[in-house]
């Protein structure tokens, strides 16, 4: 699905009474919520969308500050707030229980939602109930996360000075580093990824959005502890070729998470849902079929 068609078929709801948040909804059945990564948007899921919609009611949003959602300049962007945003969408859609599928930045939002699930009183809570979690490549363990130099630069005190120079060529170079050797993004995909970044001058927020890397360190015990608790069904689907969060993350997950359920995709990089959509869908469906 083209980016234009994705945008035209989407909808909006108001967050905190004033911010327009873009989302997509399709299919019927159990609710599966898809959380995208940095610096892209829900369009990341377009290659797996039809297959997942055949089995689930799928919901995907653009986090505030990303994609086609509002990008307010005076806003306290945080992963905690993005988790509240997901909960607001679920409430808006009347969802009582849901499964999660997350990638990259979205992984950490999912970890916060998982932590909240474990704090939830099942007898009194009115919040939607989380049923399971599938994570794709992401910095779920801050200590072994390997951000690109551009990410480190944006996260530095000088990050705001760098944002005007974030052009298509820079995006192309960095994406080519993190995709697999046989699954490189096409020039059209680069154009569409860059269009998402540029919408509403969004690239000028990157030095603020990327504070999530510091948030991961601050809340490491809470967020890593949530996936180590492993009381809900959870699976990691990992593109091994990814230099940011590839094979080394899968190996560490197996060491520190009880009863680890890991699917490794060889020669796939940081964006498994874009690079190997068929394999990702197969791994997701197998995970849900095997659940009691």
| Predicted confidence pLDDT, tens digits, the chain (292 residues) | 899 999 999 999 999 999 999 999 999 999 999 999 999 999 999 999 999 999 999 999 999 999 999 999 999 999 999 999 999 999 999 999 999 999 999 999 999 999 999 998 776 678 899 999 999 999 999 999 999 999 999 999 989 999 999 999 999 999 999 999 999 999 999 999 999 999 999 999 999 999 999 999 999 999 999 999 989 999 999 999 999 999 999 999 999 999 999 999 999 999 999 999 999 999 999 999 876 5
* Distance separating alpha carbons of residues 150 and 16, to the nearest angstrom: 32
Residue 90's Cα: distance from chain center in Å?
Answer: 16
Q: What is the per-residue pLDDT for 26?
A: 98
Q: Which residues pair with 264 in a beta bridge?
A: 238
Q: Which residues pair with 249 in a beta bridge?
A: none
Q: Which domains does the chain have, with CATH numbers?
A: 3-290 (3.40.50.1820)
This prediction has a pTM of 0.96
Tokens (6 digits) for 134: 């599938």
Q: What is the per-residue pLDDT for 1?
A: 86
Q: Please, what is the end-to-end C-alpha distance for the chain in angstroms?
A: 34
Residue 205 has what DSSP assignment?
A: G
């Amino acid at each position: 699905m083209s980016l234009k068609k994705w945008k035209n078929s989407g909808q909006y709801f108001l967050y905190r009474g004033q911010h327009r948040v873009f989302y997509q909804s399709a299919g019927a059945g159990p609710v599966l919520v898809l959380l995208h990564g940095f610096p892209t948007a829900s369009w990341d899921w377009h290659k797996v969308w039809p297959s997942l919609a055949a089995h689930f009611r799928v919901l995907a949003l653009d986090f505030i500050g990303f994609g086609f959602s509002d990008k307010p300049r005076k806003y306290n962007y945080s992963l905690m707030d993005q988790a509240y945003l997901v909960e607001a969408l679920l409430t808006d859609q009347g969802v009582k229980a849901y499964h999660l599928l997350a990638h990259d930045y979205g992984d950490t939002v999912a970890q916060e939602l998982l932590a909240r699930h474990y704090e939830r009183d099942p007898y009194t809570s009115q919040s939607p109930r989380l049923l399971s979690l599938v994570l794709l490549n992401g910095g779920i363990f801050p200590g072994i996360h390997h951000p690109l130099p551009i990410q480190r630069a944006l996260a530095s005190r000088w990050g705001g000075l760098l944002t005007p120079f974030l052009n298509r060529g820079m995006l192309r170079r960095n994406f080519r580093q993190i995709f697999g050797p046989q699954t490189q993004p096409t020039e059209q995909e680069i154009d569409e990824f860059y269009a998402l970044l540029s919408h509403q001058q969004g690239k000028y927020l990157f030095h603020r959005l990327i504070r999530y890397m510091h948030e991961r360190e601050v809340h490491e015990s809470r967020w890593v502890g949530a996936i180590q608790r492993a009381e809900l069904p959870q699976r990691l689907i990992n593109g091994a070729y990814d230099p940011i969060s590839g094979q080394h993350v899968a190996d560490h997950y197996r060491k520190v998470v009880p009863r680890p359920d890991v699917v490794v995709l060889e020669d796939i990089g940081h964006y498994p849902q874009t690079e190997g959509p068929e394999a990702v869908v197969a791994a997701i469906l197998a995970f849900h079929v095997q659940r009691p």
